[in-house]
Each structure stands twice: as structure tokens, then as C-alpha cells.
Amino acid sequence: MTAYRSISWIAAFSWMAVIFYLSHQPGSASSDLSSGIVATLLNFIDQVAPNLELNVESFHTFVRKNAHFMAYLFLSLLSLNAWKSSGYRGWKQLFLGFGMCVLFAATDEIHQLFIEGRSGEVRDVLIDSTGAAVGVGVYMIAAKVVGLWKNSDDKQKKAEL
């Protein structure tokens, strides 16, 4: 196994471990963490836009759900890279990377059913999956852009010869 492949898989599984760790926290600890983040964001918003009135509870929900979205967007990028490092390309790579994220999201929500003060939510699996799908889209666009740059570099080198 090449070092790049090992690092790619270690990165993906490490991020999954972070998600699992955060999901394994009791509801009170998870709420305290997100409340602290929300308080920091609200303080920043108050300094930037002091007259802006926000519903704190709605904003708290917005932050929590966006954390799901972003965590799985990042996981999809890591998993797509890991599958690519293992020799998978094209639709197979996209299917495996996205499928890995959706499966992990579902099992993570089931895991939360056994944690005090937590619940497993189908809605969260959908949010996680949407984040993963956006990550796949970002990955595809980045691959196209890099491919175009790579192709234009190749064309330029050939033209110079």
C-alpha cells in the first residue's frame, strides 16, 4: 500500500472518528458545545450588525444542522480521495464515496439512539447525505478544473516543443 493511499484512508477514518466522538457525547454535553459556538457567533454578529434581530433558538438549530451538512461535505471529499487513491475512478468512485457517507450517517444516527439525551433523526441523515452530495459536486467540479489546468499545461508544453 502506498503512503498516499494510507494517508488518504487514515484521514477519512479519522474524520469519521471525530464525527463518532461528537455523536457519542450525551445530549447535555452536545448542547453545551453547540450553545458555546452559537454564543460566540451571536456575539460576532452583534458586533458586525448590532441592529440585527435573530431568533436565538432558530439560529441555534440552523448552526447545528449546518454542522451536520459541513461535516459530511468534508467526509465526502476525504472518502472520494481515499477511493481514488485505491484506484477507483469515475462513477464507481463517486458511488463508493457517497455511499460510504450515507451509510455512515445512517449508522451514526442509529448509534445516537443509545446515547443519553440523544435521538436518531432521519432528517439528520438527509442533511448529512445532502452535505455529502454537495461534497461530491465540489469534488467533480474541482476535478474538472484541475483536469482543464492539467490539459492546458500539457497543450502548452507540447506547443513549446
pLDDT tens per residue, range 70-98? 999 999 999 999 999 999 999 999 999 99
Instruction: Classify 23 as helix, strand or coil.
Output: helix
Query: What is the average pLDDT value for the chain, to the nearest integer?
Result: 91
Residue 127 neighbours by CB under 8 Å, 6+ apart: 65, 68, 69, 72
Residue 161 pLDDT more than 90? Answer: no
Q: Counting beta carbons within 10 angstroms of the beta carbon of residue 44, is it exposed (0 to 12), middle (13 to 18) or buried (19 or more)?
A: exposed
Distances in Å between the Cα of 154 and the Cα atoms of 29, 87, 148, 159 are 53, 23, 10, 9
pLDDT tens per residue, range 2-30? 999 999 999 999 999 999 999 999 988 88
How much of the chain exceeds pLDDT 70, in percent? 91
Residue 159 pLDDT more than 60? Answer: no
Look at residue 30 in the predicted model and tell me its pLDDT.
Answer: 86
pTM of the model: 0.86
Look at residues 31, 105, 33, 93 and name the one whose alpha carbon lies nearest to residue 68.
105
The mean per-residue pLDDT over the stretch 117-142 comes to 96
Q: Domain segments of the chain: what residues?
A: 3-20+68-160
Look at residue 120 in the predicted model and tell me its pLDDT.
Answer: 93
Helices and strands per DSSP (H, E), number in the chain = 5, 0
Residue 150 pLDDT more than 80? Answer: no
Look at residues 10, 34, 12, 11 and name the one whose alpha carbon lies nearest to residue 22.
34
Residues 137 and 131: their CA atoms lie apart, in Å, by 10
Backbone phi and psi for residue 141, each to the nearest 5 degrees, phi listed first: -65, -45
**DSSP classification of residue 87:** T
What are 45's three cell numbers?
454578529
Helix (H) or strand (E) holding 18: helix 3-24
Instruction: Give the least confident one: 2-16, 41-55, 104-118, 132-146.
Output: 41-55
